[in-house]
Amino acid sequence: RKEVEQDPGPFNVPEGATVAFNCTYSNSASQSFFWYRQDCRKEPKLLMSVYSSGNEDGRFTAQLNRASQYISLLIRDSKLSDSATYLCVVNPEGSTLGRLYFGRGTQLTVWP
């Protein structure tokens, strides 16, 4: 079983739509969680961290459900520029840096 599993999509939504991605992780002791964004043929870049209580950054909301071991990312009022692949990332070692596990990514296309 992979450390991090994501629905690869693709998700195709119109501008202004709300879209949500989920990701599950296998190590119940995992401590830190993040979402990355990767544009086509570009490198991944950090989008936001995921905190236990949930957190927002503008139109983006990240949530963590430890009991079910899943992480979600909600994008409200989708923009064309949100089209990208979203990668779920888990750091099982928490406060120390070690191996970061990346999901395969969920592809989002926002159309006009």
Q: Which residues bind other proteins (CB under 8 A)?
A: 32-34, 42-46, 49, 87, 89, 91, 93-105
Least distance to other proteins, CB of residue 86, Å: 12
Q: What share of the chain is helix, strand, coil (3-state, %, to 5)?
A: 5, 55, 45
Q: Is 58 or 112 the residue whose CB approaches other proteins more closely?
A: 58
Task: Read off the tokens for 97.
Answer: 């840096």
Q: Is 78 or 106 the residue whose CB approaches other proteins more closely?
A: 106
Least distance to other proteins, CB of residue 30, Å: 12
Least distance to other proteins, CB of residue 110, Å: 22
Query: Which conformational region is residue 9 in: left (phi greater than 0), alpha (psi within -120 to 50 degrees), or beta?
Result: left
